[in-house]
């Protein structure tokens, strides 16, 4: 009856309903046809929770399988801000500041976003985790992770390097061998209910693969001995920086490697970048008299001189083009052997002049100056060695005595090790093996002879001369009562504002011991020591302490 009374209105309502039904059907069809994949994926994400399973980063060991860098359990703190009230967020921010440290306002800003998961702090201390857990803060949860830990603190810090908060290597061995140490992430997928709560019903699981271990060539004890001796010299002589490297001359294995200043690899950001820089491979300097081993070797092997040949000192003054060299004392002449032992600039320059620029350059190149050693450390530089075509008229009186040439500490230790090793140049290396998590060996690294720099008999004759440097020459402070040693001192003026400074020097010593059967080759470099700055006073005693204690230690191990 009402339908008959209002036929137009009924018809309008009918057509509106019909239009809506058709519109809904069209929309539903479009969703079913064109958005089915998107919506299915979204539903899947809502009901399936994917969790990344972190692998354990591999351990870094010394040559005796003593741990130098390990991963330990750590907890990270997150907030589910969607489940928290403003008061609960404020309480959590205050608790984080009191327990973990930092500003409450910073934590509060992190919780401003409405999310199911917001990081508040990564890898907190065990005490911090326990204290926060005990507070039972609403919306605050914990994720078990792992973090890098160095049992020996800063021991071998520049060699080991460090990794970031996500266990990714950033420097040193951690960087160079990151792909081996890092491992492979795993994955677990769990079902969730409509309120996004985990049901702990495992749908899919891929186990993480832990990282491999890296075994270094360094010896933890020799490393400690070397660092202790270097630290004392660094502080005693008020140096700007210092480095020491200990190498097995017969194999090229690095047994100790240290720089000062150093840093804590557990907290690398707490130290400035210059403290973290690996100076022994990345910094160059003019070597001064330690470079005379090149000229001395060339003079003997070219047969231009014999040990007993007399060299005249020109009464203490000798002109080379526009430059005048001065003798250290008033001696009128010395045999070749004594020229090297007493580190005469005039004598060494005369040796270089006789053999000529080409031979000086050839032998410097043979000793691999101006070339990277191939140790494989990021940041290694080659230094500078000018070919004769670029020499000036005064260069013949500069390069042979260690000026107008730049070197690194790693180049110097490899060079003196070659003399100790009867002229065979061994490529320096610092990784002994890579091992799987179960201990199986994946890859081993072996000594590699690069070249025979000088003949064996020349090397042995040169060893005798360099022993004289320690016994009676410029390095008597390196002389030991029961151990024979050989080496060369260096005291090089630094270049400041384009000129050689008369107050800033680099003191150095390179040497090996015992002379008849060398087990250790060592370089010690001390930058800007004062008030004493001579290599024989500053660097040679470090060599003595390192060699004495290291050989005593090796003897207890029965290593010969």
Active centre residues (catalytic)? 289
* Omega within 30 of 0 (cis) for the link into 514: yes
Q: Give every CB contact of residue 553 below 8 A, 6+ residues apart in sequence.
A: 221, 222, 225
Residue pair 245/409 in contact by the 8 Å Cβ criterion: yes
123 and 74 Cβ atoms separated by less than 8 Å: yes
User: According to the 3-state scheme, what is the secondary structure of 468-489?
Assistant: HHHHHCCCHHHCCCCCCCEEEE
Paired sense of beta strands 431-435 and 213-216, if any: antiparallel
Q: Determine the 3-state secondary structure of 504 from DSSP.
A: strand
Distance CA 99, CA 91 (A): 12
Distance of alpha carbon 111 from alpha carbon 96, whole angstroms: 12
Q: Detail the DSSP E strand segments found in 179-236.
A: 186-192, 198-206, 213-216
Cis peptide before 531 (omega within 30 of 0): yes
User: Which residue do the tokens 């090149």 mark?
Assistant: 294
If residue 317 lies in a helix (H) or strand (E), which one and from where to where? strand 317-320
Contact partners, residue 190, CB within 8 Å, separation at least 6: 48, 49, 51, 198, 199, 200, 201, 202, 203
Q: DSSP letter for 266, please.
A: T
Q: Is 389 exposed, middle or buried (0-12, 13-18, 19+ CB in 10 A)?
A: exposed
Q: What string of DSSP letters covers 415-443?
A: HHHHHHTTTEEEPPB-EEEEE-TTS-EEE
**Cis upstream peptide for 261 (omega within 30°):** yes
Give the H/E segment covering residue 131.
helix 126-135
């Amino acid at each position: 009856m009402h339908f008959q009374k209002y036929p137009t209105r009924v018809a309008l309502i009918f057509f509106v309903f019909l239009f809506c039904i058709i519109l809904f059907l069209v929309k539903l069809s479009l969703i079913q046809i064109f958005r089915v994949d998107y919506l299915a994926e979204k539903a899947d994400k809502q009901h399936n929770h994917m969790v990344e399973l972190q692998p354990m980063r591999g351990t870094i060991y010394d040559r005796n399988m003593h741990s130098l860098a390990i991963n330990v359990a750590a907890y990270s703190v997150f907030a589910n801000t969607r489940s928290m009230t403003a008061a609960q967020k404020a309480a959590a921010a205050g608790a984080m500041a009191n327990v973990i440290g930092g500003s409450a306002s910073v934590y509060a800003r992190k919780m401003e976003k409405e999310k199911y998961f917001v990081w508040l702090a990564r890898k907190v201390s065990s005490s911090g985790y326990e204290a926060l857990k005990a507070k039972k803060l609403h919306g605050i949860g914990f994720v078990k992770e792992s973090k890098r830990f160095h049992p020996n603190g800063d021991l071998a810090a520049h060699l080991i390097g460090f990794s970031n908060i996500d266990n990714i290597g950033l420097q040193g061995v951690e960087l160079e061998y990151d792909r081996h140490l890092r491992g492979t992430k795993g994955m677990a997928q769990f079902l969730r209910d409509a309120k996004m709560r985990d049901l702990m019903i495992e749908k899919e699981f891929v186990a993480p693969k832990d990282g491999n271990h890296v075994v270094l060539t360094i010896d933890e004890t020799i490393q400690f001995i070397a660092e202790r001796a270097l630290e004392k010299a660094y502080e005693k002589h008020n140096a700007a920086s210092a480095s020491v490297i200990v190498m097995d001359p017969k194999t090229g294995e690095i047994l100790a490697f240290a720089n000062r200043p150093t840093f804590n690899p557990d907290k690398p950001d707490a130290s400035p970048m210059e403290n973290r820089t690996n100076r022994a491979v990345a910094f160059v300097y003019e070597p001064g008299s330690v470079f005379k081993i090149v000229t001395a070797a060339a003079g003997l092997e070219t047969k231009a001189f014999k040990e007993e040949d007399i060299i005249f000192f020109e009464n203490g003054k000798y002109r080379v083009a526009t430059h005048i060299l001065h003798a250290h004392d008033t001696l009128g002449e010395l045999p070749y052997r004594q020229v090297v032992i007493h580190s005469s600039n005039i004598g060494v320059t005369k040796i270089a002049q006789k053999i000529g620029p080409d031979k000086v350059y050839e032998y410097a190149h043979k000793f691999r100056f101006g070339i990277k050693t191939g140790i494989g450390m990021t940041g290694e530089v080659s230094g500078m060695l000018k070919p004769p075509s670029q020499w000036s008229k005064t260069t013949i009186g500069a390069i042979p005595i260690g000026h107008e040439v730049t070197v690194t500490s790693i180049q110097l230790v490899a060079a003196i090790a070659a003399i100790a090793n009867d002229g065979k140049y061994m490529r320096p290396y610092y990784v002994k093996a890579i091992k799987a998590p179960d201990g199986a060996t994946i890859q081993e690294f072996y000594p590699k002879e690069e070249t025979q720099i000088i003949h064996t008999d020349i090397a042995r004759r040169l060893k005798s001369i360099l022993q004289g440097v320690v016994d009676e020459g410029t390095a008597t402070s390196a002389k030991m009562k029961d151990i024979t040693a050989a080496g060369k001192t260096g005291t090089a003026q630094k270049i400041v504002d384009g000129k050689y400074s008369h107050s800033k020097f680099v003191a150095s010593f390179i040497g090996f011991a015992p002379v008849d059967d060398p087990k250790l080759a060592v370089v010690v470099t001390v930058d800007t020591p004062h008030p004493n700055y001579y290599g024989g006073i500053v660097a040679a005693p470090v060599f003595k302490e390192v060699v004495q204690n290291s050989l005593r230690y090796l003897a207890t191990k029965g290593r010969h």
